[in-house]
Structure 1
Amino acid sequence: MAPNDSQPALWPAPTAAGAVDATVHVPGSKSVTNRALVLASLASEPGWLRRPLRSRDTLLMAAALRAMGVGIEEGVGTEKGSGEFWRVIPSGLHGPATVDVGNAGTVMRFLPPVAALANGPIRFDGDPRSYERPLHGVIDALRVLGARIDDDGRGALPLTVHGGGALDGGPVEIDASSSSQFVSALLLSGPRFNQGVEVRHTGSSLPSMPHIRMTVDMLRAVGAQVDTPESGGEPNVWRVTPGALLGRDLTVEPDLSNAQPFLAAALVAGGKVVVPDWPARTTQPGDRLREIFTEMGGSCELTEYGLEFTGSGAIHGIDVDLSEVGELTPGIAAVAALADTPSTLRGVSHLRLHETDRLAALTKEINELGGDVTETADGLHIRPRRLHGGIFHTYEDHRMATAGAIIGLAVEGVQIENVATTAKTLPDFPDLWTGMLGSDGA
């Protein structure tokens, strides 16, 4: 159906004709790619990113850094399997510049600290939804650390950072209970602050801790000294020592959270899906899928080639705390709606502040297909019901689109509104999806 002003494009979600048997090459991690771009831009020497993700969020990050003076050259390696690469050439950060954050949390939160190190004003703007996403943790912290920011008191976009070429840094207290990205944002630029940075989280529970661990690991890999609660420091306190960052040659891991719909396909339809290059050790939250989807009825084996995930076609409900892996909630909810027993997904109240209010959106969309989902204070309770076809709205949220596709495997007549929103982190999703369903495993 052609899009027009009154009717968005609808994508008929394909139904699985039988068990799947496919190998799916999942593109690189958005979380790793965007952190690596920031660190390489702040380094004292050029660096390389190999097999980076090219998606809306990462291209927005690269464009923003280029606007501030960073050189990012794109190319393709000639060696077998080397693939695409970006060469990042740090230079003096400067304004004036305008940054389009789109609706990317990593761009809107990671780059204001970088902009504080630039010479000149850097203006940040984005999609209408980006104005509603919390940014106060970064804005307030940067002011304490010496930055000048104009946001008209909103604590949100649009805003302008008036960079002075350097930032004092030092200790700061923040409440990061609405987004762990507040912590990561300050840590990533912390080595370049005159006094480094000490970030103390003062709020309630901190969501998405694996993403903070990813930030710490990547900082250490480029030579930064980071003290964390896990390394014997105070609870909820992270310290980064000032110092130069090294340029490095980094190969980006596959995005394990984006592997979720493909693994879910094996659960829903039965059969086997192989994801090559699944890392044996990783800080990516998506690695929890091995445990969660096994509990829901699948089995997996990690080989030298990658992850082999097998489903029997039987799906069991689950009671699970997803506070550390909230981004997996939409896909888990979709699978749970097709299970043989009820599920309770807990610890994810912060999802109300993501690309959309994911808890409200999942409840509404699954229920409109005949489901029985209720919101709780911090999650969802899902009672499986016989579902029927209908339009599954995405709210410009990539994970809502893939959740609808998962349901469509088992329910005829599901139509995904604006499936193109998956380009935010998973380019070519429709082709990957139909390729998986038509694959012979080659």
Structure 2
Amino acid sequence: MTHDGYSPHPDPGAVVARDAIAWRAPQADGPLRAELTLPGSKSLTGRELVLAALADGTSTLVAPLHSQDSARMIDALRTLGVTIEESEHTGPYGPDLVVTPPASFRGGAEVDCGQAGTVMRFVAPLAGFARGDVRMTAHETALHRPMGEMIHALREVGVDVDDGGNWSLPFTVRGHGHVRGGEVHLDASRSSQFVSGLLLSAARFDVGLHLIHTGRRLPSIPHIDMTIECLAHRGVRVERPAPNEWVVAAGPLRAKDVAIEPDLSNAAPFLAAAMIAGGTVSVTGWPAHSTQPGAMLTEILHDAGARLHRRGGVLTLTGSGVRAFDVDLSAAGELAPTIVGLAALADGVSTITGIGHIRLHETDRIRALVDGINALGGDAQELPDGIRVTPRPLHGGVWRSHHDHRMATTGALIGLAVPDVVIDDIGVTAKTLPQFAQLWRQMLSEGATA
């Protein structure tokens, strides 16, 4: 059982130890032949929940993700007075959600963001609309995540923020029922979520928003494109006078029923599994067009030697080993753990760059990946903005998750080819995919071929 009340499906490889769920990663017995349907996108679910809370009527989210991060967002919005109910319609991974905005957002409350960066960055601007104080806090493992730039930006648009001079969580938003808005200069080099968080609420600001990114680099641009596309579906136009500028006029957001795409980044370890074990893995519901960073998987995995094709909404990967590769993941840093895991099993030296910002995720993912691979006998080298991996014969051992869902799934991926790899806490996958262990074994048991 995790701290957030999620109990992952009982699994024969799981051993409960203290609060963690240690899990022996199963090896692949042979080439795979599996087809999977995955739950909805975490990124889209979070954005659509916020937009529905700001809309001019009731919206329904069809096939949303039900996970720890989603639960944190739902709890945060309910705390501010938003009504979120489960629909009678239930899909394979849970019910649709019906969201009704409040007449006015309420204060006098505390929002616990858990480990969810999206809740920290998306709800903080929303709290400015509340009437009364809203205290923003998080799990102790997430208090280090950058919030100083967001605090600065909120003050520039007229939000009263009391952070005790620490420029970090926890802090209190002293809501006055509205947010002035206006021009903001923001350095979003450490997280594109600062941009998305402000854009999501911008149309409800008194005078809209003119946001200017002042940093030298901007990571995860597809996530900003995703935010802009979600806003467009609700009638909000985001103008781009320059590459690092966004302008949103004040106005209403349309209530709308929205179908959530499958989480393409969560598909990464499953697709990569066929490259390590051989055979094919198919993912249903793969969109023809998507702003999700996971859409880049087709190009990235092709360059690493996979064959992919999409037909009738089903993406199929056929694999027979991993070819050494060099890749810049500045637009899709969330894919880095899976891609680094593949590099550890490639046929030559691979270099993954453009991922310096992932040091500031649930853990320092660069250091965690390097330490994890090297602890199993590999040769991973930390670079200023990435990782270089020289394949070596790997052996079993404990793979540390560091409270990070993507670290845990990378351990499972390596464990397909390396015996006796034990992930110290598979329960952390509940953050974005509570069914991970069950789906992983399903892929192996139902899809393995002799």
Instruction: Sort the TM-score into its range (normalised by shorter chain).
Output: over 0.9
* Alignment match, 2:131: 119
* Alignment match, 1:65: 77
Aligned AA (2:73): M
Classify the secondary structure of the residue corresponding to 1:220. helix
Count of aligned residue pairs for this structure pair: 434
Q: State how far apart, in whole Å, the 2-side matches of 1:17 and 1:2 are.
A: 25
Judge conservation of contact 1:50–1:83 (CA < 8 Å) in 2: no
* Alignment match, 1:54: 66
Unaligned runs of 5+ in 2: 1-14
Q: State how far apart, in whole Å, the 2-side matches of 1:105 and 1:398 are.
A: 13
Farther off after superposition, 89-98 or 279-288: 89-98
Classify the secondary structure of the residue corresponding to 1:33. helix
Asked if residue 85 in structure 1 is aligned to residue 96 in structure 2, the reply is yes
Query: In 2 relative to 1, CA 298–98 (structure 1 residues): closer, same or farther, beyond 3 Å?
Result: same
* Alignment match, 2:360: 353
Asked if residue 271 in structure 1 is aligned to residue 279 in structure 2, the reply is yes
Cα distance, 1:83 vs. partner? Answer: 6.5
Q: State how far apart, in whole Å, the 2-side matches of 1:354 and 1:400 are.
A: 11
Judge conservation of contact 2:39–2:93 (CA < 8 Å) in 1: no
Q: State how far apart, in whole Å, the 2-side matches of 1:28 and 1:318 are.
A: 29
**1:65-214 equivalence runs, <5 A:** 65-77=77-89, 84-91=95-102, 92-214=104-226
Asked if residue 316 in structure 1 is aligned to residue 323 in structure 2, the reply is yes
**1:319-334 equivalence runs, <5 A:** 319-334=326-341
Query: In 2 relative to 1, CA 440–203 (structure 1 residues): closer, same or farther, beyond 3 Å?
Result: closer
Judge conservation of contact 2:31–2:448 (CA < 8 Å) in 1: no
**1:368-383 equivalence runs, <5 A:** 368-383=375-390
Judge conservation of contact 1:23–1:441 (CA < 8 Å) in 2: no
The one of 353, 363, 370 equivalent to 2:370 is: 363
Cα distance, 1:189 vs. partner? Answer: 0.2
Q: State how far apart, in whole Å, the 2-side matches of 1:331 and 1:153 are.
A: 38
* Alignment match, 2:263: 255
Aligned AA (2:415): G
Cα distance, 1:82 vs. partner? Answer: 11
Cα distance, 1:81 vs. partner? Answer: 8.1
Cα distance, 1:409 vs. partner? Answer: 0.2
Cα distance, 1:9 vs. partner? Answer: 3.5
Aligned AA (2:16): A
TM-score by length of 2: 0.95
Q: State how far apart, in whole Å, the 1-side matches of 2:56 and 2:93 are.
A: 25
* Alignment match, 2:3: none
Aligned AA (1:2): V
Cα distance, 1:305 vs. partner? Answer: 3.3
Q: State how far apart, in whole Å, the 1-side matches of 2:379 and 2:448 are.
A: 35
TM-score by length of 1: 0.96
Query: In 2 relative to 1, CA 441–413 (structure 1 residues): closer, same or farther, beyond 3 Å?
Result: closer
Query: In 2 relative to 1, CA 218–441 (structure 1 residues): closer, same or farther, beyond 3 Å?
Result: farther
Query: In 2 relative to 1, CA 307–76 (structure 1 residues): closer, same or farther, beyond 3 Å?
Result: farther
Farther off after superposition, 411-420 or 82-91: 82-91
Classify the secondary structure of the residue corresponding to 1:410. coil
Classify the secondary structure of the residue corresponding to 2:416. helix
Judge conservation of contact 2:287–2:313 (CA < 8 Å) in 1: no
Classify the secondary structure of the residue corresponding to 2:446. coil
* Alignment match, 1:407: 414
* Alignment match, 1:3: 17
Judge conservation of contact 2:66–2:93 (CA < 8 Å) in 1: no
Cα distance, 1:167 vs. partner? Answer: 0.7
Q: State how far apart, in whole Å, the 1-side matches of 2:21 and 2:438 are.
A: 16
Q: State how far apart, in whole Å, the 1-side matches of 2:426 and 2:184 are.
A: 41
* Alignment match, 1:298: 306
Aligned AA (2:406): R
Cα distance, 1:440 vs. partner? Answer: 3.9
